[in-house]
């Protein structure tokens, strides 16, 4: 899938096609993110000193580079903060190396690299899962990478598996056929997005004779034609030690590990014609569909494509004064502008990134003020892409369906021209530089991200120290440099413009359609891979697990009821904050659905002492983040900052929670933005399927049934927001958790000073959830969305709560059923063997007041019926026959290992501490959770299967292409 590792807007964003699907957390809602992420930073002199002091140690100070005799480059970095390690293999080959007619072959090979080797003819996803490895893979323009993070005693096992598939991968006709179906389903999913289709058209126009204009994932027409011999040749040409970089970061000893690497990888030979040999694509262009990725979020996450071009400077591109116009089914209007830029090694890149922050980062940014604050658009995002041979600057503007794109483009052009003519202030430049620097520090707190940065730098620009050099150059950027790059690159002649103008569409087939008939298809599951086979092919592992340090958070409670949990950790000079307030969408009135999110989104829009721009500026000068996400059962607070800026984060958080005023002008601006957002959501199959699924399970008047509509959002008044906040934002229903580099006593004092006078009165509001019965039979709903290429299906029913005694057994059961898209029963059959789905997962969403069991999958429309039938067959099989004892033990080890690895990530650790408190669990749950998993028995899992899996009492909701209307989805 197209995704972005946690790299921010600074140079060398890692633009990737990843193998797995990110999970959709159904009952938590798609979080209603605050429209503004508040940002904060130190004074100029302090930040410069801080960067000089911190950056070498957090990036490359302890990195060692070794090159083996066979050409394998090895980067190692010891980080002894937790007993975990990440192993990553980066190949210097990506979509820019592809021949015409085989666009997407690098991505196709990435998928096939999980299909097994001559020595281990088994799905590698099952082996990684058995090791408890948090593993994944991606394809990009300059590289293809495979990575996993595990407990340190499994380091050698990961190295053995990676070395095996570097030389011995099996690429057979049957495997290629099934995985081609998976890739085509993936490409169809991208085609569902208007942003994706617009980007495809614009990038082809910008780079008509260069692989940058082609999609990383390929095209359906090319994928369908791939032959085994083509993929095998590609594998032989590019997968060799002298064309690879091995990166290891974590808790290991360098000298011993290098000896293991030499033992495992040193015997692999160089290959004739490898070493990054490129198959030329210059001067060629595809006639088949070329795809570009959607903008994934307000942080400017997006996809592009890279290819071969001039050695320096900017690749010549096609330009035209006339915009590319797409009139297709969709919702909101889109404006995309792309300017070609130089490659990552060119000296203008740091100034270009500073320029981008000034244009689009935060409420005070130039383009946000010109386009969003003016009411012309609901969102503006932008990003600089700096890659091996060239790059580009992309601006994307989202607007309502009735907005004038020509006017928006005119305002955008004038805003850029105004900056070029009048310049930028020193204050703007220093703020942007500090934000950018803080982003680098904050995005490198966990070992996986640190290794990603090293691998990306080494394979993209040939120097793992690139980011250090880049940050040094950023600190030297001056206002005149920013103006110079605007005048040099952001010219009318260079840019290409694209408009997306949605055509009218109707959603057909919405509504419950009970069907008493059972499915008549007979797609019997294949024979499951025996757990004994997994054990047979696993490399030897030291079974003595490392003891995790039993450090527990300190808990205290203010007299007003506010609960705080603190865990000092000086491994990085940062602080992570998580919070929870019992003010979720479950409290939305029926006629004003969306009110809870409306309140949370507007908290940062002004207080009694500060207006919205003042808040944004105070925080934006510190490069940290603070935002609010609304879920069904609560509002989640998320923030991070450099350690020295924690007082500012706490001050602003306390101010908005106690003193927010909801200015009328800001509320109306926000209303227009969320109305546009709603239009866009209702054009997404996943969102439509999710809504109908939840409403099909939970009846009217149930707190989970209600979703925002245009009518309900129009009903919300300012007084509603004021009253809702006064009623539900209370210290006695709020929990804060902090992990990071701080002194316990000082932070306790800070919190007391800021939150101690937060008043509470009366009793906290409560809800009583009515009982919900299971469906009496299969309920099928098929919603048609015109213009979509991929179908999204949700299957499920009501489930268990977090307090259910079967909770831990259900987790083990779920891991076996659908916890992983490659190693689970569902993944092995529906995705891996039959190739019917790009991703299939199951979940027990266990909340405080309710729970839901669900299965989620994405399929080609012609495969949907078979995928649903196969899924029900597997549910029936496990319900009736149970699972094996070896499956239970393997699932337990996987869950325990994954949990231990997750605690090494400060964000996941902080969230775990927070939610344990929200659920009323003792703070020792942080470390006893794995003991409870270990105690789950084979009998308990099979009892849970009998009691919790109901294949004949299930709701099935599919949203997607109109061809599905001709099929019976049951």
pLDDT at 874: 97
- pLDDT tens digits for 600-615? 999 999 999 999 999 9
Helix ranges, 490-563 (H): 531-537
pLDDT at 98: 81
Task: Give the residue from 156, 251, 113, 881 showing the smallest Cα distance to 546.
Answer: 251
Residue in the block written with tokens 């910008």: 206
pLDDT at 318: 54
pLDDT at 214: 86
Secondary structure letter of residue 590 according to DSSP: G
Secondary structure letter of residue 12 according to DSSP: S
pLDDT at 528: 56
> What's the pLDDT band for 624 if we cut at 50, 70, 90?
confident
pLDDT at 620: 87
Q: Is the pLDDT of residue 678 over 50?
A: yes
| Residues 924, 946: Cα–Cα separation, whole Å | 31
Strand ranges (E), 400-513: 496-503
> What six digits make up the tokens of 879?
């319900």
Average pLDDT rounded to a whole number, residues 319-323: 75
pLDDT at 548: 58
Q: What is the mean pLDDT of the chain?
A: 86
Highest mean pLDDT among 310-319, 543-552, 616-625: 616-625
- pLDDT tens digits for 731-759? 999 999 999 999 999 999 999 999 999 99
Strand ranges (E), 272-413: 324-329, 333-341, 379-386, 391-399
Q: How many CA atoms lie within 13 A of 857 on its CB side?
A: 35
Taking residue 259's Cβ as centre, other Cβ atoms within 10 Å add up to 12
Highest mean pLDDT among 8-22, 496-510, 623-637, 775-789: 623-637
Do 517 and 692 form a contact (C-beta atoms < 8 A)?
Answer: no
| Residues 847, 853: Cα–Cα separation, whole Å | 11
- pLDDT tens digits for 778-825? 999 989 998 899 999 999 999 999 999 999 999 999 999 999 888 899
List C-alpha distances in Å: 817 to 280, 800, 830, 891, 939: 44, 16, 12, 10, 16
Q: Is the pLDDT of residue 931 over 60?
A: yes
| Residues 884, 887: Cα–Cα separation, whole Å | 5
Percent of the chain with pLDDT over 90: 74
Task: Give the residue from 866, 603, 595, 587 showing the smallest Cα distance to 717.
Answer: 595
What Rg do the C-alpha atoms of the chain give, in angstroms? Answer: 27
pLDDT at 553: 95
pLDDT at 282: 32
Element (H, E) at 228: helix 228-238
> What six digits make up the tokens of 463?
């120097």
Region of poorest pLDDT, from 177-186, 269-278, 770-779:
269-278
- pLDDT tens digits for 29-71? 444 333 333 333 333 333 343 343 344 445 788 999 999 999 9
pLDDT at 274: 41
Do 709 and 593 form a contact (C-beta atoms < 8 A)?
Answer: yes
CA atoms 731, 734, 740, 743: torsion sign? positive
Do 674 and 619 form a contact (C-beta atoms < 8 A)?
Answer: no
| Residues 87, 498: Cα–Cα separation, whole Å | 41
pLDDT at 517: 30
Residues whose CB falls within 8 Å of the CB of residue 570, separated by 6 or more in sequence, listed in order: 741
Task: Give the residue from 866, 831, 949 showing the smallest Cα distance to 519.
Answer: 866
| Residues 928, 931: Cα–Cα separation, whole Å | 5
Average pLDDT rounded to a whole number, residues 561-568: 97
Q: Is the pLDDT of residue 629 over 50?
A: yes
- pLDDT tens digits for 585-599? 999 998 999 999 999
Do 482 and 429 form a contact (C-beta atoms < 8 A)?
Answer: yes
Percent of the chain with pLDDT over 70: 84
Domains and CATH numbers, the chain: 64-265 (3.30.830.10), 324-503 (3.30.830.10), 554-755 (3.30.830.10), 773-966 (3.30.830.10)
Q: Is the pLDDT of residue 8 over 90?
A: no
pLDDT at 315: 55
List C-alpha distances in Å: 77 to 455, 524, 861, 930: 12, 48, 46, 28
Q: Is the pLDDT of residue 79 over 80?
A: yes
| Residues 265, 239: Cα–Cα separation, whole Å | 13
| Residues 959, 692: Cα–Cα separation, whole Å | 9
In this prediction the pTM is 0.87
- pLDDT tens digits for 86-138? 999 999 999 988 876 888 999 999 999 999 999 999 999 999 999 989 899 99
| Residues 538, 57: Cα–Cα separation, whole Å | 36
Residues whose CB falls within 8 Å of the CB of residue 183, separated by 6 or more in sequence, listed in order: 104, 107, 108, 111, 217, 218, 223, 838
- pLDDT tens digits for 80-94? 999 999 999 999 999
Q: Is the pLDDT of residue 667 over 80?
A: yes
Which 3 state secondary structure label does DSSP give 15?
Answer: strand
Q: Is the pLDDT of residue 968 over 60?
A: no
- pLDDT tens digits for 503-535? 865 444 343 333 323 332 333 445 555 677 888
Q: Is the pLDDT of residue 414 over 60?
A: yes
Instruction: To the nearest 10°, report the CA torsion of 77, 80, 83, 84.
Output: -30
Do 642 and 50 form a contact (C-beta atoms < 8 A)?
Answer: yes
According to DSSP, the β-strands at 574-581 and 734-740 are antiparallel
Q: Is the pLDDT of residue 313 over 60?
A: no
| Residues 238, 222: Cα–Cα separation, whole Å | 20
């Amino acid at each position: 899938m197209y995704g972005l590792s946690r790299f921010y807007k600074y140079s060398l964003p890692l633009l990737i096609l990843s193998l797995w699907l990110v999970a959709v957390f159904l009952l938590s809602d798609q979080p209603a993110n605050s429209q503004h992420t508040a940002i904060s930073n130190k004074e100029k002199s302090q930040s410069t000193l801080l960067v000089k002091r911190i950056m070498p140690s957090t990036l490359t100070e302890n990195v060692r580079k070794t090159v083996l005799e066979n050409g394998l480059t090895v980067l190692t970095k010891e980080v002894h903060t937790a007993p975990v390690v990440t192993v990553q293999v980066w190949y210097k080959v990506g979509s820019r190396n592809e021949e015409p007619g085989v666009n997407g072959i690098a991505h196709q090979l990435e998928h096939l690299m999980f299909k097994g080797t001559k020595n281990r003819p088994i799905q590698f996803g099952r082996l990684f899962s058995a090791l408890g490895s948090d593993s994944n893979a991606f394809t990009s323009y300059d590289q293809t990478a495979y990575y996993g993070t595990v407990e340190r005693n499994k380091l050698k096992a990961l190295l053995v598996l990676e070395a095996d598939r570097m030389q011995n991968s099996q690429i057979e006709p049957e495997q290629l056929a099934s995985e081609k179906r998976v890739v085509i389903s993936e490409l169809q999913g991208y085609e569902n997005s208007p942003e994706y289709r617009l980007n495809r058209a614009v990038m082809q126009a910008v780079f008509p004779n260069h692989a940058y204009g082609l999609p990383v994932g390929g095209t359906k027409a090319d994928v369908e034609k791939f032959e085994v011999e083509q993929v095998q040749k590609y594998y032989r040409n590019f997968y060799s030690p002298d064309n690879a970089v091995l990166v290891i970061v974590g808790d290991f000893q360098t000298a011993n590990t290098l000896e293991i690497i030499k033992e495992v990888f040193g015997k692999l030979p160089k290959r004739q014609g490898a070493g990054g040999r490129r198959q030329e694509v210059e001067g060629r262009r595809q006639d088949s569909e070329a795809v570009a990725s959607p903008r994934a979020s307000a942080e400017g996450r997006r996809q592009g494509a890279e290819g071969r071009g001039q050695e320096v400077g900017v690749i010549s591109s096609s330009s035209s004064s006339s915009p590319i116009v797409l009139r297709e089914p969709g919702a909101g209007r889109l404006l995309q502008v792309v300017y070609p830029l130089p490659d990552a090694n060119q000296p203008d890149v740091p100034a270009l990134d500073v320029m981008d922050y000034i244009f689009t980062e935060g409420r005070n940014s130039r383009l946000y003020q010109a386009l969003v604050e003016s009411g012309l658009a609901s969102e503006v995002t932008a990003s600089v892409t700096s890659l091996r041979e060239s790059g580009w600057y992309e601006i994307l503007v989202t607007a309502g369906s009735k907005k004038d794109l020509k006017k928006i483009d005119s305002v955008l052009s004038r805003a850029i021209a105004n900056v070029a003519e009048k310049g930028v202030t020193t204050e703007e430049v220093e703020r942007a530089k500090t934000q950018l620097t803080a982003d680098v520090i904050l995005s490198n707190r966990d070992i996986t991200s640190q290794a990603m940065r090293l691998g990306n730098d080494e394979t993209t620009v040939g120097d793992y120290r690139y980011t250090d050099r880049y940050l040094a150059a950023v600190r030297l950027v001056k206002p005149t440099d920013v103006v110079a790059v605007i005048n040099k690159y952001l010219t009318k002649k260079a840019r290409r413009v694209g408009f997306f103008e949605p055509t009218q569409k109707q959603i057909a087939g919405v509504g419950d359609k009970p069907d008493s008939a059972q499915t008549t298809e007979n797609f019997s599951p294949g024979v499951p891979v025996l757990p004994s086979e997994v054990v047979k092919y696993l490399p030897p592992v030291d079974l003595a697990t490392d003891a995790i340090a039993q450090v527990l958070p300190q808990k205290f409670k203010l007299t007003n009821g506010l609960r705080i949990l603190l865990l000092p950790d000086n491994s990085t000079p940062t602080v992570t904050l998580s919070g929870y307030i019992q003010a979720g969408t479950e409290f939305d009135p029926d006629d004003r659905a969306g009110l809870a999110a409306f309140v949370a989104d507007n908290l940062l829009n002004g207080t009694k002492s500060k207006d919205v721009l003042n808040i944004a500026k105070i925080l934006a000068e510190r490069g940290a983040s603070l935002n609010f996400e609304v879920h069904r059962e609560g509002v989640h607070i998320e923030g991070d900052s450099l350690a020295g800026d924690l007082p500012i984060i706490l001050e602003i958080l306390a101010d908005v929670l106690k003193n927010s005023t909801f200015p009328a002008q800001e509320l109306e601006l926000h209303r227009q933005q969320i109305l546009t957002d709603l239009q866009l959501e209702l054009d997404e199959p996943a969102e439509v399927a999710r809504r109908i699924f939840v409403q099909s399970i939970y009846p009217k008047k149930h707190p989970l049934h209600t979703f925002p509509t245009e009518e309900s959002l129009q009903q919300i008044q300012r007084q509603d927001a004021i009253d809702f906040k006064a009623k539900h934002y209370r210290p006695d229903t709020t929990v804060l958790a902090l992990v990071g580099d701080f002194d316990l006593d000082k932070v306790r004092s800070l919190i007391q000073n800021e939150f101690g006078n937060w008043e509470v009165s009366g009793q906290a509001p409560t809800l009583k959830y009515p009982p919900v019965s299971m469906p009496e039979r299969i309920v099928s709903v098929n919603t048609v969305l015109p213009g979509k290429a991929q179908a999204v299906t949700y299957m499920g029913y009501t489930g268990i709560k977090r307090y259910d005694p079967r909770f831990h057994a259900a987790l083990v059961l779920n891991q076996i059923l659908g916890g992983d898209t490659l190693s689970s029963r569902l993944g092995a059959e529906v995705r891996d063997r039959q190739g019917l789905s790009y991703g299939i997962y199951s979940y027990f969403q266990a909340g405080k007041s309710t729970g839901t069991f669900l299965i989620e999958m994405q399929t080609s429309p012609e495969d949907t019926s078979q995928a649903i039938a196969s899924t029900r067959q597997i549910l029936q099989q496990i319900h009736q026959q149970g699972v094996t004892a070896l499956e239970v033990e393997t699932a337990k080890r996987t869950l325990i290992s994954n949990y231990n690895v997750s605690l090494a990530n400060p964000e996941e650790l902080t969230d775990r501490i927070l939610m344990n408190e929200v659920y009323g669990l003792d703070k020792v749950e942080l470390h006893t959770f794995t003991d409870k998993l270990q105690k789950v028995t084979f009998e308990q899992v099979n009892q849970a299967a009998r009691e919790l899996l109901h294949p004949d009492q299930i709701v099935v909701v599919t949203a997607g292409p109109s061809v599905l209307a001709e099929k019976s989805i049951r």
